[in-house]
Structure 1
Amino acid sequence: MSSVLGAVIATFITVPYLVFFVVRKSIFKVTKKKRKAFKVSTDVTTFFLFLSIERMTVEIWGQSYYWVLILLFLSGCVMFTLFIWKNDLDLSLGKIIRLNWRLQFLILTFVYFSLMTYGIIDRILEA
């Protein structure tokens, strides 16, 4: 049983957009709300994108650049804090983290596909 669970988690880390489609479909079946299903699926997929990008960097370059992902997340938090503070909006930690988490989804999507393309080209040129 644990090997099956491990295989499923490894697949979700390798292809995080499977998580997006599975979660979106499941939440939509339960709630019948497309917007809520989309938001929850992006939030869950962002976590798997962090893990996937970390594993891709280890596979491509042989070392982890997880610290870059953490700095990216923290700089996004600072950016949203300054933006909300300058525009005199309600400054709540939950709002800042939620906005940053959704921004990270967009950034990490771009990084994921860039690393995947680079990795494929690199492996082809090595052969």
Structure 2
Amino acid sequence: MSEALAWLVATFVTLPIFTFYIIYIITVKTTKNKKKSLKLAVDVSACFFIIAVYFIAYEIWSKSLLWVIIIFILIVAMIFTIIHWKVSDDIQFGKLLKGIWRFNFLLFVIFYLVLSAYGLFISIYLVT
């Protein structure tokens, strides 16, 4: 049982797009609400994209860049907080956190795709 769980977690971390798709399909089938399902899939799979970016960067450069990822997320949070404060004059904490988390999802999907392509390109041209 523990091997199956380890395999499942490893698959979700290695292929976060698969995680996103599975969560979306399961929630669409259960709730029949595509918008709510998409938001839930984004919220859950964002964590897997962040972890995947960390491991891809570690494989490419053989250095832990966790501190860079954390600082990046904090900078995004600060920028979002300032913009939210300027626009609405009052900070709605729940709305702010959702915005930060979903924006980080978009950024880390882009990072995941770029780092995957870069890692593939480097591995092909370094081997040959």
TM-score tier after normalising by the smaller chain length: over 0.9
For 1:15, the equivalent position in structure 2 comes to: 15
Alpha-carbon offset, residue 99 of structure 1:
0.1
> For each residue in 1:69-127, what CA deviation from the matched residue of structure 2 results, as whole angstroms up to 9, or x when unmatched?
11111111111111111112541222211101100111101100110011001111111
Structure 2: how far apart are the matches of 1:89 and 1:20?
Answer: 34
For 1:60, the equivalent position in structure 2 comes to: 60
Alignment size in residue pairs: 127
Structure-1-length-normalised TM-score = 0.95
For 2:110, the equivalent position in structure 1 comes to: 110
Structure-2-length-normalised TM-score = 0.95
Letter aligned with residue 8 of structure 2: V
Give the root-mean-square deviation of aligned CA atoms. Answer: 1.0
Structure 2 gap segments, 5+ residues each:
none
Letter aligned with residue 71 of structure 2: L
Identity %: 33
For 1:47, the equivalent position in structure 2 comes to: 47
Structure 1 gap segments, 5+ residues each:
none
> For each residue in 1:50-76, what CA deviation from the matched residue of structure 2 results, as whole angstroms up to 9, or x when unmatched?
110111111111111111111111111
Moved more, 67-76 or 100-109: 67-76
Letter aligned with residue 82 of structure 2: L
For 2:72, the equivalent position in structure 1 comes to: 72
SS of 2:44 mapped into structure 1:
helix
SS of 2:91 mapped into structure 1:
coil
Letter aligned with residue 72 of structure 1: F
Structure 1: how far apart are the matches of 2:4 and 2:114?
Answer: 30
SS of 2:88 mapped into structure 1:
coil
For 1:120, the equivalent position in structure 2 comes to: 120
Which contiguous aligned blocks of 4+ residues in structure 1 show a shift greater than 4 angstroms?
Answer: none
